[in-house]
Structure 1
Amino acid sequence: MTSARTFSDSLQGRNIKPARHDEGLEGTTSRVGFLLLSNFSLPSFTQSLDTLVTANLIQAHAFEFVIFGLTEEDVLSDLGIPIGVNQVIDAANTAQLDALIVCGGLRTPCNMTRQLGEILKKTAAQGVALGGLWNGAWFLAEAGLLDGYRCAIHPEQRLALTEIAPTTQVTNVTHMVDRDRLTAASPNGAFYMLLEWIRGLYGCGLVNGVVDILAFDMTRVRAVTGARYRNLSPSLQEVISLMEANLEDPLQVDQLAHYAGKSRRQIERLFSEQLGTTPQRHYLELRITEARRLLQHSSLSVIEVGLACGFVTSSHFSKCYTEYFGHRPSKEIRLDRRMDPLYRKTP
């Protein structure tokens, strides 16, 4: 196999090669437990699960998960859909976890049993990170496990949490990661909560890979792009935006400079000083990155993808793609979520 050319720092994290489940990649596996409470928010739970499974598509076996219940019976979600559990929760079977996330919902009763409180306290004492979805933070607070922490909780339960946990800083944000406490007030909050936690475990590369796969709407793409380039000068941000808007018919550097109101030399200096690369290389890497995304997540042919990303000939496209990824575009993994073998449930 041809050795891959290295991407510049600004785009390297977006081009992690997806791993097949049989590649046997070495690395750490983090174990996450989800405790489902009655009427839990199914969208928040599935968003969390999808984030972890998507991470496994990129880094094989990065996460394993187990679904807990208070009893052996299926747990009814807020949508009336029952979800089966793997195990009945107790302090013994949470000891090996890296994180335990309590999944609540709008209609989840805020009733803490003595048994659940003891389990949560013992789990925290074992060094396991604790999380809460929707009103899950209420149960952590009731057990005294949010004292001195910041947290996020659905607005319906903010006042109740404030009353039972006066030393907890109850925020109005959708998610909060404060040391070993992870809380989210909505499905979107659950997504960003786990991204922040994953970043702490595995770094920005894996996070960017997950975002690129799940960022199927342009609103999120713009948000992620803005965050990625927010430390760059306005002029450089403008040039990069022009590049991203003109992948199919790439502009020349002189054209980019003209539209940005700068000279070619000024543009080249901005790329060199702030990104450590050249305009031409960054533009090519943007096009190659988009080509890889289209190959993985669309039914377009290799020729169609090449044309959509500004490559006039298939031979040039194949040459550039092989230089960066070490294989021809025809050999790229076509990700099919329906046949995903990386849902790693613990029996």
Structure 2
Amino acid sequence: MSNIGFLLLENFSLTCFTQCLDVLVTANLIQPGSVKVHTFSRNDSEVTSDLAIPIRPDTPLTDIRISDLDLMVVCGGLRTPRTVPNWLVSLLQKLASLPIALGGLWNGAWYLGKAGLLDGYRCAIHAEQRIALAEYSPNTSVTLDTVVLDRDRLTASTPAGAFQVMIEWLYKVLDPKVADAVFELLDYDQSRFRTTSKRHDQKVTVPVREIITLMKSNLEEPLDLDQLAACVKLSRRQIQRFFQKQIGTPPQKYYLELRLTEAQRLIQNSRLTIIDIAIACGFVSAGHFSRCYSNLFGHPPSREARFEI
């Protein structure tokens, strides 16, 4: 059995967290007792997610409890404070001294880096803090990837990356057949990228890959075309031309489909309300979200099938 802990910080990304839980709960359905999940916070207090949904941790943050862990994942979010309190630095350094792997979701790598635990490692972090972490931790390779597994450090900057991190962890600690079964049962690749999966198989240039990575990292608060252009040092016109030639669709449409397929997955696999899902996928108007959803999938989000959870 693998013991996995999630350290919830204020305004943590609920979609990243639930992606991980989806994988782990499914593993226990397939092979009961495969993993044990623990949630932690400072002083065992309730923590509010980025969608204003409170979560009450189930495990006290004591030396005895954390010593049983195989993996501790720091759960950050877009509005999680960047200041790293002394208690968190001390805790992460204590964990690093034990035979425990450390992970970070969304901007979780920021806290690992501030604790000095990413020197010599590669990592993934949300685009908003990528430059800041690279400047603060010059001995860390801060990548554009949405997920990075480097020895005993596992980091992900998006919900998609969070899913992949947990799948890879299952492959590491359980029978690979169990991990295979989890992946096949959740059918993640088909639901999350159904409308774009064929395009991902095509060869694209480095700038286009970087833009797609940025899009995946910013589903909740989408970047406009000017911001994307500035990040990759290209003009709007160049980006539009590259996407049309290499992928066959405008970048704005590609981005919209990524957000809508994530919304579909959340509707199918969570108890979140439609409006919460719309906000999590970057839509500020319920009406606009419903129209875009209907145009892509042929029915409004209210008619999407929701699986029992």
Taking structure 1 as the reference length, the TM-score comes to 0.54
What are the superposed Cα offsets for residues 268-296 of structure 1, whole Å, 9 maximum, x if unpaired? xxxxxxxxxxxxxxxxxxxxxxxxxxxxx
Cα gap change, 1:69/1:206 in structure 2, threshold over 3 Å: closer, same or farther? same
Cα gap change, 1:135/1:221 in structure 2, threshold over 3 Å: closer, same or farther? closer
Aligned-pair distance for 1:89?
A: 2.4
Structure 1 counterpart of 2:171, which letter?
Answer: R
Aligned-pair distance for 1:113?
A: 1.3
Within-5 A mapping of 1:1-347: 29-215=1-187, 218=190, 337-338=308-309
Matched-pair contact (CA < 8 Å) for 2:78–2:106: yes
Structure 2 counterpart of 1:79, which letter?
Answer: L
Identity %: 49
What are the superposed Cα offsets for residues 24-48 of structure 1, whole Å, 9 maximum, x if unpaired? xxxxx10000000000000000110
> In structure 2, how many angstroms separate the alpha carbons of the residues matched to 1:34 and 1:131?
9
Aligned-pair distance for 1:221?
A: 8.7
Please say which structure displays the higher CA radius of gyration: 1
Matched-pair contact (CA < 8 Å) for 2:44–2:61: no
> In structure 2, how many angstroms separate the alpha carbons of the residues matched to 1:74 and 1:82?
6
Alignment root-mean-square deviation, CA: 2.1
What are the superposed Cα offsets for residues 235-274 of structure 1, whole Å, 9 maximum, x if unpaired? xxxxxxxxxxxxxxxxxxxxxxxxxxxxxxxxxxxxxxxx
Cα gap change, 1:337/1:148 in structure 2, threshold over 3 Å: closer, same or farther? same
Q: Which one is further off, 111-120 or 31-40?
A: 111-120
> In structure 2, how many angstroms separate the alpha carbons of the residues matched to 1:337 and 1:63?
21
Aligned-pair distance for 1:216?
A: 5.9
Q: Which residue matches 2:223?
A: none
Cα gap change, 1:81/1:144 in structure 2, threshold over 3 Å: closer, same or farther? same
> In structure 2, how many angstroms separate the alpha carbons of the residues matched to 1:176 and 1:214?
21
Aligned-pair distance for 1:141?
A: 0.7
Unaligned residue ranges in structure 2 (runs of 5+):
199-306
Cα gap change, 1:122/1:62 in structure 2, threshold over 3 Å: closer, same or farther? same
Name the SS of the counterpart of 2:43 in structure 1.
coil
The total of aligned residue pairs comes to: 200
Aligned-pair distance for 1:87?
A: 3.1
Aligned-pair distance for 1:218?
A: 3.1
> In structure 1, how many angstroms separate the alpha carbons of the residues matched to 2:78 and 2:193?
29
> In structure 1, how many angstroms separate the alpha carbons of the residues matched to 2:66 and 2:127?
29
Aligned-pair distance for 1:164?
A: 1.6
Structure 2 counterpart of 1:103, which letter?
Answer: C
Matched-pair contact (CA < 8 Å) for 2:105–2:158: yes
Cα gap change, 1:220/1:134 in structure 2, threshold over 3 Å: closer, same or farther? closer
Q: Which one is further off, 198-207 or 102-111?
A: 198-207
> In structure 1, how many angstroms separate the alpha carbons of the residues matched to 2:101 and 2:148?
13
Name the SS of the counterpart of 1:80 in structure 2.
coil
Cα gap change, 1:162/1:32 in structure 2, threshold over 3 Å: closer, same or farther? same
Matched-pair contact (CA < 8 Å) for 2:124–2:142: yes
> In structure 2, how many angstroms separate the alpha carbons of the residues matched to 1:208 and 1:201?
13
Name the SS of the counterpart of 2:44 in structure 1.
coil
What are the superposed Cα offsets for residues 63-88 of structure 1, whole Å, 9 maximum, x if unpaired? 00111011232100000000011234
Aligned-pair distance for 1:90?
A: 4.0
Taking structure 2 as the reference length, the TM-score comes to 0.61
Aligned-pair distance for 1:92?
A: 3.7
